[in-house]
Structure 1
């Protein structure tokens, strides 16, 4: 018995040891493969826990089953390796079932190294958000993974090769995601489904350029199909017997005609998105038994809402029928939609009153959008029963009567956005609106509201966007951005003509009461949403050029994030409050042309970020504070303050000396008389001596200049490459002409110095030519380099006019403007001396000869866009007089050594009068491709024309294309080309170099494209000002996007609106702009 027991014990022990040995061997093999993969990484510290002689099951990202590696998850880890390393080591793990390398910086083609094998147990492979490239046909190599069921290759750079037409994808997959690649082949869907792979349950091809048709009729197990944002256009998609289909998204393609009847057989659909196509006719019968979300927006559907849709109320959660041609009334059957959360029928032709019973039962409704229709009658009181409502948009209809007092009566409401603008509402603003404590945005403009603005609105702590239209008073400290300017005519002053920038429409101008017609094109005012902090402080406040009176309130000090404060040109009196020193972030302060008195508060010395200040033309007195930076500003910023003294103004007088007696004054007079006689004699002697010296020196200088001129003229006349356009009349006298300069180092320059520095204005020194003249590079004797512009001959302009304009331009200094250093007149020639810009123009760097040497990534382009906008904004809003550029283009945006944008040639146009906003010219201003459409109708230039030209420059930065190029656009131009692509796939317009830099940049590029679209609106009054453009850029930098309703033109007068959430392109019908 004992021997048998011993034998059994030995056998069991042996088997356990053998199993341990086998497991140890397998574990050792897994460890070797994992460590070999780590050795391929350029930065091995990213897998710091993967070390030898350790159990691989303890490695970070590794999961084991039965002591064998079964799963690896290394998402958001910068591995920086190629697919070959992944295939050779990770996929070779014998027991690997799942591998996830999402956003792990994997590159290269999808192919296996020779002799490599794939785990037979692998079922899931996720390589999304990497930079994998190569033809899609290489996916067939994954056939060596026999049990692979789920493959995610979305957001990579895979392309179509053409081989897809001959052989199918030999993979038995259940899940395949190829979204956001560079696939463009036709009939790609049949290739994927070739061979009758009926096991496919999920197919995602979103965000490519695939053409052809969609036929998935044989995929009876298919549950999820997303082919949105492609170029499918061949009729109606075919779904056949897809009885299992639950999620179908074909939005943003080019499908047209009627929706096929086959879709009605997809009875299990719970998500259906057909938006942004060209489907027409009436809304057909759709499977509604399980439908939860239905999107039909942005098509051409006509007729009324079919009654059968109300039968889906038991399950329907979201319904979007916006931007179609639907008409009639909203069926009362929707009253039974108790589960509906979002209802959007905006931008249609619906009419009639809103059925009261609808809103009594929609207790789950969170979003109700009925804007841009023809709804009429009073606002239903039953709206107050929708306690879960967060967004209510009833704007741009013909609602009348008062705003229901009960709308916010229940304090438990969740309303955040209330848009009632552009209706016919009457009465006063209910004070009960303050009960909507969560309100962020409130728009009531363009109605017939009257009375005072309730002070209780000031208690809305979250309110960041308040638009009350024709009202000047404001009680809320939560506004982010406001600027208001009057027309300038007596009959147009006051609140009666103040217009918001957002939503100005020509038909609204007729609804403004005024005794006399006003020039509304000259109204300057607006309200938008730039960067905003949590405490509700605006960052920009400009209410200059009004008739505001009273004193500056102390509460101004409670706005610590204020960056620009302009109260100039008003009738403000009293002292400057000490609290203004709390504005630590203030960069620009303008209090000029008021009746401010007293001293400049000492607290202002603590404002260390000031770059511009203007306190001139007031009644200020006392000494300018010596500490801080106030004394570093020019004296002109403090002029016309009779009692003000101290640096930079003359020093303050001695009070004792000022009160001296009459006896001392008489004694001084006698002493000064004797001193004057003595000084007169000495002065006469000095004058005689000075004349003798001057004659001798002049003779020597003339001899030297004559010799120099002979040399220059001799070499010039014998040079075959000389600039033959240069003519010098009275040359020998001209050499001694001094430059009128604005910089101290240049004050001793003469024309002879310029002639020598450019080798007689030789073509070798020519660095550019433009509409105003040629530009030469000149190196002066002290080694400094300047740019000299030799203007074309200006007919009809006298010396006095030229000098006056140059003296004005020379005083304009800004970090984003090319400063004028000096000028001179030589006969008929006009020479301007500018600071030299190392990298030349944006046109050269982006399109021209310097493109190969300088690569502009997106960070550099964004910096240039913001810099150019800042410079143009300074010309439009901060210069006195204001300046219209008239020829804004990429060749007039120069780049310094830090690639900082500098706007040039701004002084070549006539200067705009301080109270005018238009400039009449006799010829068409600007350069083809940059000229706004209104310039072709009249020769009236405006700042909004500059804004349009800037929009073209911004498009150049985004697309990398010239504004006019027959090779790219034919008879069209860049603006028209972008408009065409906006109706297809907007991301196609971006420069491929930017997309290759980082595919995740697309959202930010799209936000900047919105800014360009706003600038390029065909209707000049809808374009933003450059200050507003700057505010939009700040909003993007803050990461909160842009308000598309306030920044993008949405009708056929301009660009289509690009929706941020689903990127749906919507068109607003005529009559709704």
Structure 2
């Protein structure tokens, strides 16, 4: 071998050895790094108190073992991603997490982390992806957040961040996704976001405390933005034309704001736009005539003040699947071209002023699913081809002027869930196949001119049959016993004859039976006792005879009974006195004898008219006194007794007033008070004390004290003052506990918790001064509804539910230690001038010293009907007793029932669980006065959430955090999902009228 060859060989060997040595060192370094990072992960687990969800994180001699854990992603044996959503992680994010030197992605969504924004992450120099959503972070986003300069994805959704969104956000130049949904920001909309040239997704929704702002002009620079979600961000003014500069937009949601003006043409010039959502604003003007957005798949301009007509060019939108324009003031005819769009599946035009005939091609060329045109001025017939595609879920066309017969094709439409054509001028017979349509659950055709007889067979799923005010005839068939799921049977004012079949009593779920104003004869069925769920029974204005069955008195749920205008005879059974039935009418019959004593009061003064043989033992009803002439003056002694009683009562009041006045002067008024301020106080002691002297200022009273409305300035600037009177020698420990509790509560600052301004105390009394809530309590509004007919509409009720839930969520998850209210009820949910809900009355509140550890109390405190069952048994308290009570409030809001009155034997919560588990229709449980077509889907979801919260086992109830998330998403809770529930694009929209076309 030559010398040169030997040299080359030696050089080759040396190179090989160097490469081998480098690889060896690299491997050793990788092994060392892996072992070190595995140890860091174990320390993280220990720092987070060893959550069971990551119990498989176990230290191993294998330095790559951690890279096989499902929550960990590695490159070259080094951790690059931590995916820890919903792992029950508590505490804060420690600095040691950034010792994972190559960590680029952190996902801690849906945990229990309570802290301010974790600046410890600033040391994660390679961090690109950060998801801290659905935790309990508080405070402001730091001004130096741009230290995380490599971030591409930032999600802080559903926390308690407040204050301003810092301008430094605009310096995160690599961001492609920014999500700040559902926090408590109260500053201005961050214009600096317009500097984020790479941004593709921007979600700022559900931050209604932002200062009123116009659409930020800087956003026109976001030329790569595909999704802009700014629902409920307090936007004002008009939608600017420069929105056309945001050329990449695919989805725009500016709903639930205060926008005004017309819809700009620019919206329809965005060629990539797939959806527009502008509902619940105050937009006016017409829909633009020029439509060029050929890729547009969805238009939702509902709940505005739009006028004019639908442009005829709408038929050129060849990819349009959803046309949603409900609740506007649109008029004129619906363009025929709509019926020729082959992709059209969703047509919701209700609540406008449309006239003329419906496009007859609707459903002919597309697979129509939703068809809702109710509450317009439409004429002509329903389109014949609505169910050609076989996917139609509902025909909702009530409150129009439609004529002709129902399309024969509906008789072959097994996808149908609902047909609602009430209050039209429709005629003819019902298509035979419609009665037995496979999935039909609601057939509502009242107030038309339909003819024919009832069928012997109906759909097994039919729960609601409303055919009142038509021209049906014949007998009610005995096969009615097979209609097992029927809950509402409304057939008033028809031409039915024959007897009421005994088989009708075989329907166990029947809650409403209306057969009044027909030609029925014979006696009432004797098996009425089986109607355990019946709430309304109206058989008036028929030709019924015989005696009233005693069994009616044992119907546990009956609250409306009308048997007037018949030929009933005999005595009124005393058992009817057992009914708690405010709506009761037996007038215009042939009844004799004395009425049950329970009805001898003014509330039933018109319930027995035109029954010459009836009498009463008092003059409180319009009947003659039993055993006397009708004009007898024997009532005079009773009047004298009443006058004497009133005189004695007035005298007692006068004496009490003089004694109180003497004691007031003797004690020098209310004495001197020591004031502890928790908010800025701009009044003097005497401003409050003087207001307590006038009993006209008293607005409430409870177990813990009286509440006064006091004008602190004399110019209509009110505060609420709770006056708590102590015993002369209060126990020292109880006094210390009270002071500590007030001090803790005084530090709570949340939009949905009533502010405690100050505490004024002296030896025998304390005055707690709160912000004044102009609209009183939720209880007062629900009670007004029950007594005077004043209605708190559903949108307000839903807003109250969301606000109260957010307040409780903050108490449970945003305070350390958590605060348990212990007395959540409708009277402790107060409403400001805008009906925003705030939790009040913390007189029973308890702080849990260690989260997750239930405490015990020495006695049960709270309100009947709202008690969690385990609280009554064990006196143990934790967050789940508040969740239960809040669930009862949700059931109050949806059903209108009182918390301790579900039926004769159950509380509202117990009744609701039993009702739902029995397979009854949820729709029939709702408060009739707020049950509107466009709200039923949302009401269903809230009712189901109430069931979820009031489960017997505390472990099965959700946390208040989950409750808030379900309400904000406006969908059904887990385990209560409708089989047809919509899955929207993840932005918390459920359609306003889904109940019409979805199974409940």
Q: How high is the TM-score relative to the length of structure 2?
A: 0.56
Alignment of 1:751-830 (within 5 A): none
State which of 24, 33, 36 in structure 2 corresponds to 1:26. 33
Report the counterpart of residue 44 of structure 2 in structure 1.
Answer: 37
Distance 1:890 1:550, change over 3 A: farther
Report the counterpart of residue 647 of structure 2 in structure 1.
Answer: none
Whether the aligned pair in 1 keeps the contact of 2:463 and 2:487 (CA below 8 Å) is no
Superposed displacement of residue 951, structure 1: 11
Alpha-carbon distance between aligned partners in 1 of 2:91 and 2:336, rounded to the nearest angstrom? 60
Structure 1 position 1048 matched with structure 2 position 926: no
Secondary structure of the residue aligned to 1:319 is strand
Whether the aligned pair in 2 keeps the contact of 1:98 and 1:125 (CA below 8 Å) is yes
Report the counterpart of residue 377 of structure 1 in structure 2.
Answer: 380
Report the counterpart of residue 174 of structure 2 in structure 1.
Answer: 172
Structure 1 position 119 matched with structure 2 position 118: no
Report the counterpart of residue 95 of structure 1 in structure 2.
Answer: 102
Alignment of 1:583-662 (within 5 A): none
Alpha-carbon distance between aligned partners in 2 of 1:1002 and 1:226, rounded to the nearest angstrom? 34
Distance 1:370 1:225, change over 3 A: same
Distance 1:723 1:365, change over 3 A: farther
Secondary structure of the residue aligned to 2:267 is helix
Q: Deviations over 1:155-181 (max 9, x none)?
A: 1111123x7469845453110011111
Superposed displacement of residue 29, structure 1: 2.4
State which of 328, 341, 344 in structure 2 corresponds to 1:340. 344
Structure 1 position 538 matched with structure 2 position 509: yes
Alpha-carbon distance between aligned partners in 2 of 1:545 and 1:370, rounded to the nearest angstrom? 30
Whether the aligned pair in 2 keeps the contact of 1:173 and 1:199 (CA below 8 Å) is yes
State which of 71, 75, 96 in structure 1 corresponds to 2:85. 75
Alignment of 1:520-919 (within 5 A): 538=509, 540=511, 550=523, 552=525, 562=533, 848-849=722-723
Distance 1:540 1:258, change over 3 A: closer
Whether the aligned pair in 2 keeps the contact of 1:568 and 1:590 (CA below 8 Å) is no
Whether the aligned pair in 1 keeps the contact of 2:707 and 2:723 (CA below 8 Å) is no
State which of 75, 78, 81 in structure 2 corresponds to 1:65. 75
Structure 1 position 945 matched with structure 2 position 784: no
Report the counterpart of residue 822 of structure 1 in structure 2.
Answer: none
Alpha-carbon distance between aligned partners in 2 of 1:1033 and 1:322, rounded to the nearest angstrom? 35
Superposed displacement of residue 227, structure 1: 0.8
Superposed displacement of residue 297, structure 1: 1.2
Alignment of 1:340-489 (within 5 A): 340-356=344-360, 358-359=361-362, 361-404=364-407, 406-410=408-412, 413-456=414-457, 458=458, 460-470=459-469, 475=480, 477-479=483-485, 481-482=487-488
Superposed displacement of residue 420, structure 1: 0.7
Alpha-carbon distance between aligned partners in 1 of 2:778 and 2:228, rounded to the nearest angstrom? 49
Distance 1:271 1:378, change over 3 A: closer
Superposed displacement of residue 299, structure 1: 1.8
Superposed displacement of residue 464, structure 1: 2.2
Alpha-carbon distance between aligned partners in 2 of 1:770 and 1:168, rounded to the nearest angstrom? 57
Structure 1 position 109 matched with structure 2 position 109: no
Q: Deviations over 1:573-610 (max 9, x none)?
A: 89999xx9xx9x9889999999999xxxxxxxxxxxx9
Q: Deviations over 1:120-174 (max 9, x none)?
A: 4432211111111211344x43x3433210111111111123x746984545311
Report the counterpart of residue 502 of structure 2 in structure 1.
Answer: none
Distance 1:586 1:62, change over 3 A: farther
Secondary structure of the residue aligned to 2:330 is strand
Structure with greater Cα Rg? 1
Whether the aligned pair in 1 keeps the contact of 2:533 and 2:556 (CA below 8 Å) is yes
Whether the aligned pair in 1 keeps the contact of 2:547 and 2:568 (CA below 8 Å) is yes
Distance 1:334 1:28, change over 3 A: same
Distance 1:296 1:183, change over 3 A: same
Superposed displacement of residue 400, structure 1: 1.6
Superposed displacement of residue 18, structure 1: 2.2
Q: Deviations over 1:1015-1073 (max 9, x none)?
A: 9xxxxxxxx99999969993899599769996527699xxx99995737899xxxxxxx
Report the counterpart of residue 812 of structure 1 in structure 2.
Answer: none
Alignment of 1:984-1023 (within 5 A): 988-989=836-837, 991=839, 1011=894
Secondary structure of the residue aligned to 1:255 is strand
Alpha-carbon distance between aligned partners in 2 of 1:334 and 1:69, rounded to the nearest angstrom? 55
Number of residue pairs the alignment of both structures matches:
684
Whether the aligned pair in 1 keeps the contact of 2:492 and 2:516 (CA below 8 Å) is no
Report the counterpart of residue 666 of structure 1 in structure 2.
Answer: none
Secondary structure of the residue aligned to 1:308 is helix
Distance 1:392 1:435, change over 3 A: same
Distance 1:1041 1:148, change over 3 A: farther
Distance 1:259 1:68, change over 3 A: same
Report the counterpart of residue 183 of structure 1 in structure 2.
Answer: 185
Whether the aligned pair in 1 keeps the contact of 2:229 and 2:252 (CA below 8 Å) is yes
Alpha-carbon distance between aligned partners in 1 of 2:782 and 2:597, rounded to the nearest angstrom? 40
Q: Alpha carbon RMSD of aligned pairs, Å?
A: 6.2
State which of 477, 492, 496 in structure 1 corresponds to 2:493. 496
Distance 1:952 1:6, change over 3 A: closer
Unaligned 5+ runs, structure 1: 485-493, 499-534, 598-609, 614-634, 638-715, 726-767, 777-836, 857-888, 894-926, 933-942, 962-973, 1016-1023, 1067-1073
Q: Deviations over 1:471-527 (max 9, x none)?
A: 89593635564599xxxxxxxxx94399xxxxxxxxxxxxxxxxxxxxxxxxxxxxx
Higher RCO, 1 or 2 (CA under 8 Å, sep at least 6)? 1
Distance 1:225 1:47, change over 3 A: same
Distance 1:315 1:1057, change over 3 A: same
Structure 1 position 292 matched with structure 2 position 263: no
Secondary structure of the residue aligned to 1:108 is coil
Structure 1 position 230 matched with structure 2 position 230: no
Distance 1:1026 1:363, change over 3 A: farther
Distance 1:99 1:45, change over 3 A: same
Q: Deviations over 1:988-1031 (max 9, x none)?
A: 4454999x99999999799669649999xxxxxxxx99999969
Distance 1:231 1:1000, change over 3 A: farther
Alignment of 1:40-55 (within 5 A): 40-42=47-49, 44-53=51-60, 55=65
Superposed displacement of residue 283, structure 1: 0.9
Structure 1 position 1034 matched with structure 2 position 891: no
Whether the aligned pair in 2 keeps the contact of 1:359 and 1:385 (CA below 8 Å) is no
Alpha-carbon distance between aligned partners in 2 of 1:838 and 1:574, rounded to the nearest angstrom? 45
Alpha-carbon distance between aligned partners in 2 of 1:352 and 1:32, rounded to the nearest angstrom? 75
Alpha-carbon distance between aligned partners in 1 of 2:66 and 2:371, rounded to the nearest angstrom? 55
Whether the aligned pair in 1 keeps the contact of 2:427 and 2:448 (CA below 8 Å) is yes
Alignment of 1:971-990 (within 5 A): 981=834, 988-989=836-837
Alignment of 1:130-279 (within 5 A): 130-138=135-143, 140-141=144-145, 143-161=146-164, 164=166, 168-188=170-190, 190-193=191-194, 196-209=195-208, 210=210, 211-214=212-215, 215=217, 216-237=219-240, 238-279=242-283
Whether the aligned pair in 1 keeps the contact of 2:279 and 2:303 (CA below 8 Å) is yes
Secondary structure of the residue aligned to 2:31 is helix
Q: Deviations over 1:936-963 (max 9, x none)?
A: xxxxxxx6427759999989986789xx
Distance 1:302 1:839, change over 3 A: same
Whether the aligned pair in 2 keeps the contact of 1:401 and 1:424 (CA below 8 Å) is yes
Secondary structure of the residue aligned to 1:409 is helix
Alpha-carbon distance between aligned partners in 2 of 1:257 and 1:106, rounded to the nearest angstrom? 43
Superposed displacement of residue 849, structure 1: 4.7
Whether the aligned pair in 1 keeps the contact of 2:205 and 2:230 (CA below 8 Å) is yes
Unaligned 5+ runs, structure 2: 1-5, 496-505, 571-577, 582-595, 599-654, 665-692, 710-719, 726-737, 746-774, 806-826, 848-878, 942-969, 972-988, 994-1000
Alpha-carbon distance between aligned partners in 2 of 1:554 and 1:1064, rounded to the nearest angstrom? 43
Whether the aligned pair in 2 keeps the contact of 1:1036 and 1:1042 (CA below 8 Å) is no
Q: How high is the TM-score relative to the length of structure 1?
A: 0.53
